[in-house]
Structures are given as C-alpha cells and as structure tokens.
A and B are shown apart, each in its own frame.
Chain A
Amino acid sequence: QKEVEQNSGPLSVPEGAIASLNCTYSDRGSQSFFWYRQYSGKSPELIMFIYSNGDKEDGRFTAQLNKASQYVSLLIRDSQPSDSATYLCAGDAYSGYSTLTFGKGTMLLVSP
C-alpha cells in the first residue's frame, strides 16, 4: 500500500526560529510532492510543490526532495505565530491522473 508518513507532532518552535517538517513516502513511482497548510476547521491550502531532487525556495519556505531516500522536507524560516497549523505532505500516484496520497499531517505550533 502506498503511504506517506509524517510525525503527527506537535512541533513547537519559538517565533523567529526555523521549523523543519519531514515526510517519507513508500511509492517510488511518485514524481511530485506537495506541501499543504491546513488551519483548524479549514481546507488544505497549497504552499509548495517540488518535482526534482534538491531544494526549492519560495519566500520563507524551502522544500527539499531526496528521491533516493524517499524523503521530503519543508523548512519554514523566521516562523510566525500565524504559521501555526497542520502541514500535510502529499505525493502523486504515478497513474497519470495525479491523484494525491496524503500523510496525516504534522501540527506546528509557533509561540510568540
């Protein structure tokens, strides 16, 4: 069964620190990986995606992908209390239809 694994947390960091969120996946056929942010009671919001090995930066966010290790991470620099949310990692199923397999999410708490 294709799985995406995340530590449920919570991950607690002080304001201004770097938050590091990690994810592993089992489906070697997955090509693309996505990070969604989900506030309590709201729907997931796409914040980053990555296709290639290495790093991809977008503002305060950096996604990292290592296909050999089947590992994806998201770094959030200068964490703000407004970043407190659950972060969902997802990989696409290599079916040609890009259906996503999600992890359970990691809760991030940024304290002022």
Chain B
Amino acid sequence: DTGVSQNPRHKITKRGQNVTFRCDPISEHNRLYWYRQTLGQGPEFLTYFQNEAQLEKSRLLSDRFSAERPKGSFSTLEIQRTEQGDSAMYLCASSLTGSEQYFGPGTRLTVT
C-alpha cells in the first residue's frame, strides 16, 4: 500500500518564476486536496478535486495559482510569477470517503 507521493520534495526558485508541483494520491482515492502550510500555522485549504472535477477553491487561491487533475489520477499545482509570500510547504492529501484525509510528504517551496 503506497501512500500519497509528492514531487519535488524541495523547490528553490527566484521571484517571478513559475513552478509546478505534482501529487500522486493513494490509488483508489478519488478525492484530492491541496493545502498550504507556513511555519507555526496549521495547513490551509487551497483546492479540492473529486475525480477530475475541481469542485472547490479557497479565496486564498489567487489567479496566479492553478491546479489540474487530468483523468482523475495525479494532480498538478502551478504557481505563476512566484512571490516571496508563496514560500511555504504545499501539502497534498487524498481520501476515499471525503472524511479521513491522508497527507503526502509535501513540497517545500522557497522563493528567493
């Protein structure tokens, strides 16, 4: 039983560059969530997919952020024109039932 995987684990980028992260959920899980966590804070919800449909987006998700889940399998989160405030841990979680969510190891983004 493989868990949620995320790549890359770490990303350092310069301000203004675009970055893309990938999440592979647990294989039978049709629900996928993206969260962002900064130091000293709990994770904050960004967006939710059920199969390939993006059903909910947080107001935190500015128009520089876009997420996809083609074919309802893996998901990508892209940040365009990164800003220093985007530096955070980006967490992906998947769920079968919509209740218990299991997190991947996260992608730590540092914007210099």
Contact = CB atoms under 8 A, between A and B. Distances in A.
B56 A99 contact: yes
Interface stretch (A61-69, A71-79, A102-110): A102-110
A46 interface: yes
Contacts of B48: 97, 99
Interface in B83-104: 89, 91, 95, 98-104
Nearest to A45: B103
B99 A103 contact: no
A97 B98 contact: yes
Interface stretch (A12-20, A52-60, A88-96): A88-96
Contacts, number: 60
A49 B106 contact: no
Contacts of A34: 100-101
Interface string B13-41: 00000000000000000010101000011
Contacts of A95: 56
Contacts of A46: 100-103
B100 A42 contact: no
A32 interface: yes
Chain B interface residue number, banded: 20 to 34
A105 B41 CA distance: 7
Nearest to A103: B42
A92 B91 contact: no
B45 interface: yes
A85 interface: no
Contacts of B101: 34, 46, 98, 100
B50 interface: yes
Given A95-B56, A97-B48, A98-B99, 6 more contacts: A44-B103, A46-B101, A97-B98, A100-B43, A102-B44, A104-B42
